[in-house]
Chains A and B, each alone.
Chain A
Amino acid sequence: KNEVEQSPQNLTAQEGEFITINCSYSVGISALHWLQQHPGGGIVSLFMLSSGKKKHGRLIATINIQEKHSSLHITASHPRDSAVYICAAVYGGSQGNLIFGKGTKLSVKP
């Protein structure tokens, strides 16, 4: 069964801290996405990775194909980063057919 597991489920940090969210998956993915879901429910696509590392502003995403593991890092965290972060894997179906993790709820305190 194709699965995506995220950890931690909940994360509380102080403003300025470096944050890491982890995602592990089963074999044979073709790509992995990181999404951000805001408290109001809106969803934003942050990254799509098939190898290596990507950076956008204070966000960095990495993927290790051999270890079947991806991480999302947030540097210099800020209260506005508070959201649910979701990873999702493409296992070979159509590009929109993803298996989603249950999300990591991040709360950054001022």
Chain B
Amino acid sequence: NAGVMQNPRHLVRRRGQEARLRCSPMKGHSHVYWYRQLPEEGLKFMVYLQKENIIDESGMPKERFSAEFPKEGPSILRIQQVVRGDSAAYFCASSQGGRGLTEAFFGQGTRLTVV
């Protein structure tokens, strides 16, 4: 049973391009959480999704950021028209139920660099 898989591990984008970050949860997990870790700062919650539903997006920036978790396939965090301030490590975690980090497993993260 593979763990939470994030890809790519490293992503470089020019300002104004789009970034797509993928998260494949552990087998049997239907809850996904995305977090962002800015350089020299702590982790921050972004969004919590179940299959085909956004449960809590209170941590998502109002513009340019979106997330989905379709019935089939990985969860996608999409950042449109990236700016230098989007450079960060983005982590996802997954759990079988909705008890958050109590039973969640993290991916290795995607490190986005905007040049």
Contacts and interface: CB of A to CB of B under 8 A. Distances in A.
A27 interface: no
B56 A94 contact: yes
Contacts of A35: 101
B41 A102 contact: yes
- Provide the main secondary structure of the chain A interface: strand
B5 interface: no
B43 A88 contact: yes
B113 to A, nearest CB: 14
A48 B89 CA distance: 23
B108 A96 contact: no
Given A42-B109, A45-B104, A93 B42 contact: no
Interface string A72-110: 000000000000001010100111111111110000000
Interface in B21-48: 31, 33, 41-45, 48
Contacts of A39: none
B74 interface: no
Given A96-B93, A97-B56, A100-B43, A44 B33 contact: no
A40 B10 CA distance: 13
B59 A44 contact: no
A100 B44 contact: yes
A96 B45 contact: yes
A96 B101 contact: yes
